[in-house]
């Protein structure tokens, strides 16, 4: 089974690239900045997961450490628009949000730059730059989960007053789940780092955890932005069974 460890991330890459195209088409219709930011995020993530695992998929020699670090630049390029998406949607005027984006960006740029120069093993618990980079891309995922949770609570209150549509409330729930899966994906990176530290190979379990959480992330976000009719109708029917508060 270990020889097929690359399959979950490859499948995740396909989900990301298709979602990126769909979101870009949505942006072309709506001209809304969040859709464009997520489209760019997913495009870089899809290219990264495919390129990183392409050597295993096509039976090529393993990538050199320098190539792996160059691919890391592709990955962190997906984090920048993601952070801007979070700030644009949830904290457009928050000074602290801008500072958080700047700090995480510095962590990502410095760690990836130094890792590229030194040419160390990318995923390794013994690699300081990997750990700094991990903090840089994990913090935005935790932030997203927190903001989506707060937004959902506020939307639920408005919905009880008849001031928010059920599909909007559900969208915040899906964004919260998306961010939670992203946090799990970041945690699974530590499993990959453990594999690389001890055996220099990545197990089916570690790649399965990463690919599975990434696939779940995209599926959940797909429901948020492109809900199929049966799902949207189910949300509306479910909301209709919940009494609407009158007068607070």
Give the tens place of pLDDT for each residue, 118-149. Answer: 877 777 788 889 899 999 999 999 999 999 99
Q: Which residues contact 149 (CB under 8 A, 6 or more apart)?
A: 176
3-state helix, strand, coil in the chain (%, to 5): 80, 0, 20
- Percent of all residues in the chain with a pLDDT value above 90, rounded to a whole number: 40
Q: What's the pTM?
A: 0.84
For the chain, the structural domain boundaries read 2-240
Among candidate residues 65, 105, 57, the one with its CA nearest the CA of residue 83: 105
Contact call for residues 166 and 160 (beta carbons, < 8 A): no
Q: How far apart are CA 95 and CA 109, in angstroms?
A: 21
How many residues are listed for the chain in this entry? 248
Q: Treating both helix axes as pointing N-terminal to C-terminal, what angle do 166-198 and 128-160 enclose, rounded to 10 degrees?
A: 160
Neighbour-count burial for 198-237, b at 16+ CB within 10 Å, e otherwise: eeeebbeebbbbbbbbbbbbbebbbbbbebeeeeeeebee
End-to-end CA distance of the chain: 57
Which numeric CATH code is attached to 2-240? Answer: 1.20.1070
Structure tokens at 85: 């998406």
Question: Is residue 198 pLDDT above 50, yes or no?
Answer: yes
Give the tens place of pLDDT for each residue, 18-35. Answer: 889 999 999 999 999 999
């Amino acid at each position: 089974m270990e020889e097929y460890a690359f399959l979950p991330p490859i499948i995740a890459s396909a989900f990301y690239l298709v979602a990126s195209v769909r979101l870009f088409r949505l942006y072309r219709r709506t001209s809304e900045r969040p859709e464009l930011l997520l489209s760019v995020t997913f495009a870089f993530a899809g290219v990264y997961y495919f390129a990183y695992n392409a050597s295993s998929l096509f039976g090529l020699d393993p990538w050199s450490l320098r190539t792996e670090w160059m691919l890391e630049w592709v990955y962190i390029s997906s984090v920048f628009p993601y952070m801007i998406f979070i700030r644009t949607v949830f904290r457009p005027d928050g000074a602290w949000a801008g500072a958080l984006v700047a700090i995480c960006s510095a962590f990502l740029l410095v760690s990836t730059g130094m890792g590229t120069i030194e040419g160390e093993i990318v995923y390794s618990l013994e690699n300081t730059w990997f750990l700094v980079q991990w903090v840089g891309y994990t913090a935005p995922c935790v932030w997203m989960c927190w903001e989506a949770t707060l937004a959902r609570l506020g939307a639920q209150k408005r919905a009880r007053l008849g001031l928010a549509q059920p599909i909007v409330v559900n969208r915040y729930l899906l964004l919260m789940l998306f961010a939670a899966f992203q946090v799990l994906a970041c945690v699974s990176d530590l499993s990959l780092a453990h594999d690389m530290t001890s055996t220099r190979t990545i197990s089916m379990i570690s790649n399965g955890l990463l690919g599975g959480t990434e696939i779940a992330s995209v599926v959940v976000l797909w429901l948020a932005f492109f809900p199929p009719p049966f799902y949207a109708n189910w949300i509306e029917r479910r909301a209709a069974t919940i009494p609407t508060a009158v007068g607070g």
